[in-house]
Amino acid sequence: MRVLFLGDIVGRDARDEIIARLPELRGKYKLDAVIANGENAAHGFGITAQICSDLYKAGVDCITTGNHIWDQREIISYIAGDQKLLRPINFPESTPGRGAYIIGTAHGHKILVVNVMGRLFMDALDDPFAAIDKICNTHRMGAQVNAIVVDVHAEANSEKMALAQYCDGRASFVVGTHTHIPTADAQILPKGTGYQTDAGMCGSYDSVIGMEKAGAVYRFTRKIPGERLRPAEGPVTLCGTMVDIDPSTGLCRRIEAFRLGGRLSQALPAET
């Protein structure tokens, strides 16, 4: 099974680039599933029902999020009816929505997608390790599902790495989001779980983590609120990670960084 995970989508230009390129990418790389983090897709803050629909039509199978999930108020009433739009699983149980979804592939395989949020330098949520434990114990690879992909939306690299080590051998692929910077540590852990600390973002890298430079610099230099930050314009780089997974064991066979377009050096996985 081949899965493409796309990092945080920042603004309209990034959405348009994904919508334009994804149908070709699915065919070129024979992708079984595409997962994308969409929490910054609506002008940099949250996501809307229409954006979800547009991404699904383009070929995204599941959308993960994070701390910006509620920035667009319409999502509070919408999310309960959209099983493919996730919020972190370690929100309190009474929170609308869900933190996991099973993708059914064209070949009859089941890929469990789990969205979890870290607690270091983030909102105080329930224990992410306990949440991962619970779902991995009830959805075992090679039994209830063929693969498990975990999006760890977190600030601290140490917390992302600790969660990945905690999942080693129990998940197919653990990938970090939130910092918008792609890391160079794509690897397969000793027990067979693929890992990358951060997939990066889909957006303009002539920016401050995807947002227009002047406004972001103003906030740092003046230490007073300025105008609402806006997504930066300019050539978009699609950043993510591609993994090949053994459907019988759920373990990762291959992992490669994915970077296409824009300012960053390109990293395009082999097609076979």
- At 226 the pLDDT is 73
Judged against a pLDDT cut of 90, whether residue 225 lies above it is answered with no
Asked if residues 171 and 197 have their Cβ atoms less than 8 Å apart, the reply is no
Calculated CA dihedral for residues 61, 113, 253, 32, nearest 10 degrees: -20
Report if residue 269 sits inside a domain.
no
Judged against a pLDDT cut of 90, whether residue 39 lies above it is answered with yes
Q: How far is the C-alpha of 250 from the C-alpha of 145, rounded, in Å? A: 8
132: domain CATH number?
3.60.21.10
Q: How many domains does the chain have?
A: 1
> 90 by DSSP, 3-state: which?
coil
Report if residue 59 sits inside a domain.
yes
Alpha helices in the chain (DSSP H): 11-28, 49-58, 74-78, 128-138, 157-167, 213-222
One of 68, 139, 153, 180 is an active-site residue; which one? 68
- At 245 the pLDDT is 98
Question: φ, ψ for residue 221 (rounded to 5)?
Answer: -85, -30
Report if residue 267 sits inside a domain.
no
Mean pLDDT of 14-34: 97
Judged against a pLDDT cut of 80, whether residue 272 lies above it is answered with no
Report if residue 90 sits inside a domain.
yes
Report if residue 159 sits inside a domain.
yes
Report if residue 26 sits inside a domain.
yes
- At 271 the pLDDT is 79
- At 270 the pLDDT is 85
Asked if residues 176 and 211 have their Cβ atoms less than 8 Å apart, the reply is no
pLDDT digits (tens, 9 = 90+) for 169-215: 999 999 999 999 999 999 999 999 999 999 999 999 999 999 999 88
pTM value? 0.96
Calculated CA dihedral for residues 150, 32, 17, 71, nearest 10 degrees: -30
pLDDT digits (tens, 9 = 90+) for 229-252: 899 999 999 999 999 999 999 999
Domain extent at residue 175: 2-260
pLDDT digits (tens, 9 = 90+) for 46-91: 999 999 999 999 999 999 999 999 999 999 999 999 999 999 999 9
Task: Give yes or no: 107 in active site.
Answer: no
Judged against a pLDDT cut of 80, whether residue 168 lies above it is answered with yes
